[in-house]
Structure 1
Amino acid sequence: MLEAALAATESDDGVALSLRIENAGSEPVTLDFRTGQRAEFTAYPADEGTAGTAADETDPVWRYGEGRMYTQALGSETIGPGEAVGYEGTWRDPASGTYRIVGEATATDHDVRAETVVAVA
């Protein structure tokens, strides 16, 4: 059983993002990936009227992987019982506002994601 937590911290460089995935089960879990990208971070406006709806899922204001190149090779990571892995990214120079950030593993065989809200001054 995989559990995910996402932290978003405003810094001088922008918003530092950290996705932590922990194996809370008793058996190892292997995450399979199609590319070198291990996690995706996506920012949406945190509009109270649309948060959590399908509409705001289609209109991100920023996506970490957009415009980036990753190795085109299959890969995997195994997380042992009680162990965790972490993936980080930085959203540079976001506009002021409140955003809902979604962090998710790009694994093909497990849907692992977490959300948080961050206010950018």
Structure 2
Amino acid sequence: MTIQSAVDATVESDRVVFEYTVENVGDDSAEIQFRSSLLADFAVLGDDEEVWRASDGQMFAQMIQNETFDAGDAETFTEEWADPAPGDYTVVATLNTMGDDAEARTDFSV
């Protein structure tokens, strides 16, 4: 299984929209096992400290679920951060799987 991921941050006037794309770039299908109904999460860091997390204050079903990614398949997860303070940040997007997590980062400014 060869999973690659990337995250983009689009800054708008009143929010930042994150798009996290995970792709199976291998030649074989891959079965991914998720820990819960939270499939992907986004954390924003400012000065190496977490200032926002998409999953904060939310509850997720505690269930194991499987998803098959055929070779070349990709899935995109989106989230938005409303009313961010001006500054320089890093978003860290994580695929919440059993075993090895896929993670991607990108810097952005508001």
Q: TM-score under structure 1 normalisation?
A: 0.84
State whether structure 2 residue 100 is matched by structure 1 residue 115.
no
CA distance in 1, matches of 2:40, 2:63: 15
User: 2:56 is matched by which residue type in structure 1?
Assistant: E
Runs of 4+ in 1 over 4 A off after TM superposition: none
Out of 64, 74, 90, the position equivalent to 1:84 is 74
State whether structure 2 residue 97 is matched by structure 1 residue 96.
no
- Post-superposition offset of 1:4: 0.4
- Provide the alpha-carbon RMSD of the alignment: 1.3
* Unmatched tracts of structure 2, length 5 or more: none
Whether the 8 Å CA contact 2:14–2:84 is kept in 1: the answer is: no
- Post-superposition offset of 1:78: 1.2
User: 1:25 is matched by which residue type in structure 2?
Assistant: G
Whether the 8 Å CA contact 2:36–2:61 is kept in 1: the answer is: yes
State whether structure 2 residue 96 is matched by structure 1 residue 106.
yes
CA distance in 2, matches of 1:35, 1:13: 30
SS of the aligned residue for 1:73 comes to: coil
User: 2:92 is matched by which residue type in structure 1?
Assistant: V
Hey, which of these two has a bigger chunk of strand by percent? 2
CA distance in 2, matches of 1:33, 1:4: 16
Q: TM-score under structure 2 normalisation?
A: 0.91
- Post-superposition offset of 1:104: 0.9
* Unmatched tracts of structure 1, length 5 or more: 48-55
SS of the aligned residue for 2:22 comes to: strand
State whether structure 2 residue 60 is matched by structure 1 residue 70.
yes
